[in-house]
Amino acid sequence: MELQAIQQFTNRSNSSTDSSHSVFQDMLSELVSGETLDGTSQKLGSLLATVETEAKSILQSRNAASMTPVTPAPPTEKVTGESGTNFDEIISQAATLYKLPEKLIKSVIKQESDFNPKAVSYAGAAGLMQLMPATARSLGVHDATDPEQNIMGGSKYLSQMMTRYDGDIQLALAAYNAGPGNVDKYNGIPPFKETRNYVQSVYGTFLS
């Protein structure tokens, strides 16, 4: 289109002087041949060549990237946490069998072991619900570190305390921590700092 415009302009300029026609023809020849006095067309040609080279490089990079196989991310491992994800089914069965709220069982487990089935206290209490050896035996628990046995045994004991104290959750929790003998002795939550903190923490988690 530029050449057409130049040619049209040239046609319109036929009436100009011979010297003007000659100068214009020289300029046109230089433009076509790429040899202008200031080298502008040469610079333009060099720039276009550089742009073309860069464009080809970008296209080649994109094509190579599109052909690179994508490695899928490894599956996320199932991790046991506060929610007791790996123990939900056992907790649900225990809650149904012993007529306890699932959240109450989870709240006790959270406080006792933070859902660690291998937890053992300095006093010898073991497992998710931290059963003492004698208590575990009385509940038919042979391996306190086995999640199913521990949850079933601990839930059974908690249910017994709930029945003993007419469904009073806080008294049942106090008995779970300090023993029913101390609850009966003080006719309520024993004045032990550990037991009071225990009841407050577990009950608070249960209500949250």
Q: How many CB atoms lie within 10 A of CB 171?
A: 21
Q: CATH number of 87-207: 3.40.50.300, 1.20.210.10, 1.10.530.10, 1.20.120.1200?
A: 1.10.530.10
pLDDT at res. 87: 96
Instruction: Tell me the average pLDDT across 193-198.
Output: 98
At 79, phi and psi to the nearest 5?
A: -115, 135
pLDDT at 148 over 80: yes
Q: Let me know if 144 is exposed, middle or buried by CB neighbors in 10 A (0-12, 13-18, 19+).
A: buried
Q: Which of the pair, 12 or 188, is modelled with greater confidence? A: 188
- Secondary structure (H, E, C), 103-138: HHHHHHHHHHHCCCCCCECCCCCECCCCECHHHHHH
pLDDT at res. 91: 98
Instruction: Tell me the average pLDDT across 141-156.
Output: 97
Whether the Cβ atoms of residue 176 and residue 108 lie closer than 8 Å to each other? yes
Q: Return the residue matching tokens 């069982």.
A: 105
pLDDT at 126 over 50: yes
31 sits in which H/E element = helix 18-33
pLDDT at res. 86: 80
Catalytic residue chosen out of the listed positions 52, 54, 112, 194: 112
Specify whether 35 is catalytic: no
52-103 pLDDT per residue, tens:
666 566 556 555 555 544 444 444 333 344 444 589 999 999 999 999 999 9
Instruction: Tell me the average pLDDT across 105-123.
Output: 97
pLDDT at 168 over 90: yes
Mean pLDDT score across all residues of the chain: 77
C-alpha distance across the termini of the chain, in Å? 78
